[in-house]
Structures are given as structure tokens and as C-alpha cells.
Amino acid sequence: MTAILASVGWPVLDRIRFGDFGISPHGIGIAVGFLLGSWWVLREGPKRGVSEQHLSTMLFWALIGAVVGSRFFYVVGHFSEFDSFVDMLALWRGGLSLIGGIAGAILFALPLMKRYGYRFLQVMDSAFLGFPFGIAVGRIGDLAIGDHLGKPTGWLLAWTYEGGQLAPPYACVPLEDPALCTATLQGGVHMEVTRESARMFSASGGLLQEGIGVHQTAMYDLISSAILFAVLLWFGRKVRREGVPIMFFAIWYGVMRVVTDFLRVDKRFFGLTGSQWTTGTVALLSVAVLVWWALRPKPAPVAVQPQPESQPEPEAPSTRFVPPPEPGERPTVGEDG
């Protein structure tokens, strides 16, 4: 009974099958998340002076950049795991970086921001609701396939395996009704996940950690992003200084990713994952900018005094000689009399 009350779980679904054809829920989640996030961008952009037509073009290129960036960042972070350049291009085998996708989307849209004459923060503020909403929706696909599993745990939200084929690098046996899933992770760490427990072993075979389930970091990301979206929806009701909404998102999401990545076994550089370095740096820069702005408030616009209307200058006295009228004649109009 304790294990039931202190865990959550569901059977994973690696493919939605139509005969011999199958679609990954992971890909569906990413696509739907991008589309719904884009809807919020198109809704918020015109409020900030960004043309809907221009936004549509930027979102198209952002989509291409997201695909390129998500794969590129993953390959860079796991370069030693690939045998050839062809393997690096094999998107269908899995291996995408959310942070890389966001970075790629921004980089591909940046030239269009400049071409259309928009400010960087002006356009980025248009996405302050689209980012958390799209991430939350996209994470549903990760949960469906059992991706982004972390270390063993026994806390309230421990995720327990309830059948199905987990996402790579896990392999589950037997195929018909899997009861044991195993994976060899970074540093030779070995994971075993069953319906009853989860255990993590060192490369030498020693038990490092065990629990009734594992940390499901994609679930934490979904919950955090959903709460962040609700907070930003309230926060955005008031007009804020340009750049503040998107920096609010960057700080919250960056801190959350730094925390949750410590619950995973992944490749690290000087003690941190690539995602931790990236999101942590962006979060710190955002904090620094907001502190700088708080210490040096934006100067109030100088009131422009209305200029007095110019008075027509008096005509200079004419020096033209006008002969006097003949006796008995009346002066004509325009003549000096």
C-alpha cells in the first residue's frame, strides 16, 4: 500500500500503430507542442508591434532551426556514441535536445528579425507564453514513451514501470510482456527497472541507489512549465518593460532545468550537463540584466514642449515710387493714398 501511495506510473507506448506503420507519440508531442506554442506567439506578437505575417515567416524558419538545433546539440553532447556521420543524421533513432531546439529556432529566426527591423527582445517577448505552453504539451509525448528517466527514488512522485517498451537506451524483455528493463548509461552506470523496483549499479557492479521507481524528469518539466505558463498568463496582464516577460521565463525554466538534471545520469562537463550550462548561463544573465535595470531605471520620456506658432514677419516698407494721383482722380486699389 505504501508503494502505491508513494508513486505514479502507467504503461508506456512506444508506437501508435496502423498495421505495419507506426508513429511515435514523442514526435506527435513535439509537433503539437510547436503548433500550439506558435499560436500563442501569433496571439501575443501583434500586441508588441510585430506583424502576424512576419511572425509566420519567422516561425517557419524557427521550425527548421529547431529540428537542426535539437539534433546538433544532442550530437555534440554525445559525440562519442556515434560511429559515423550517417548515424548523426538518423533522427528516427531518437536523440534530440530541447534546449538545442530552442537555441536553433532563435538563431534561424534572428536574421529575419533584423531584416524586418524588429528589436530582439520585442520579438522574444512575443514568445514568453508560447515557450512554456509548447514545452508542457511536448512533454506529454516524452511521458507516453517513458523517456528522460532519472535515478531511483522512493518519493511521492516516483515513477513506476507498468509495462511496455521504454525509450532507448533502455531495452525491455521479454518483448511480449516486458518485466525487466535495463540500460547502460554514462560512465558505465547500469540501471535495472522492474514493476516492483528500480536499482542503479556502478560500472564495477556495486549498488549505488535503489527505490520503488525513478525520477521522471519529463514529468517534472511538464508540471513546472504548466505552472510557469499560468503565472506568466497572470504576469502578462500588466504592461511590462520590454524584455522582462521573456527573462522571467528564462530564469524560472533555467533554474528548473539545473535542478532536475542533477536527478539524471547524463554526460557532464565539469560537473554539469550541457543543458545545465546553457540554461544556467541564460538564467544568470537574465538576473544580471534585471538587477541592472532595477538599479538604473529606464529614464522617463522627456516631454516635448509645443513650439509657438511662427508669426508672419511684417512686410518691409516698399521703396517703389508711386506718383501722386492727378487732381480729381481717386486712388486705385493697391495704391498708396
Q: What is the pLDDT of residues 44-92, one digit of tens each?
A: 999 999 999 999 999 999 999 999 998 888 887 766 667 777 777 777 6
What tens digit of pLDDT does each residue of 270-299 get?
899 889 999 999 999 999 999 999 998 776
Closest Cα to residue 71, out of 93, 107, 101? 101
Cα–Cα distance measured from residue 312 to residue 318, given in angstroms and rounded to the nearest whole number:
17
Q: Is pTM, for the whole model, over 0.75?
A: yes
Query: Which residues fall within 8 angstroms of residue 195, CB to CB, at 6 or more apart?
Result: 160, 161, 162, 163, 179
Q: pLDDT-derived band of residue 325, with 50, 70 and 90 as boundaries?
A: low
Q: Which stretches does DSSP call E strand in the chain? A: 7-10, 16-18, 21-23, 149-153, 158-161, 171-173, 180-184, 190-194, 198-201, 207-211, 213-216
Residue 277 pLDDT: 94
DSSP state of 186: G
The answer, yes or no, to whether residue 328 has pLDDT greater than 50, is: yes
Residue 331 pLDDT: 56
Structural contact between residues 221 and 256, judged by C-beta atoms closer than 8 angstroms = yes
What tens digit of pLDDT does each residue of 147-187 get?
999 999 999 999 999 999 898 889 998 877 788 999 999 88
Other CB atoms within 10 Å distance of the CB of residue 116: 15
What string of DSSP letters covers 38-77? HHHHHHHGGGGT--HHHHHHHHHHHHHHHHHHHHHHHHHH
What tens digit of pLDDT does each residue of 114-139 get?
999 999 999 999 999 999 999 999 99
Residue 314 pLDDT: 62
How buried is 137 (Cβ within 10 angstroms: 0-12 exposed, 13-18 middle, 19+ buried)? buried
Residue 86 pLDDT: 74
What's the CA angle centered on 275, arms 50 and 161, to 5 degrees? 110
| Percentage of residues of the chain with pLDDT beyond 70 | 83
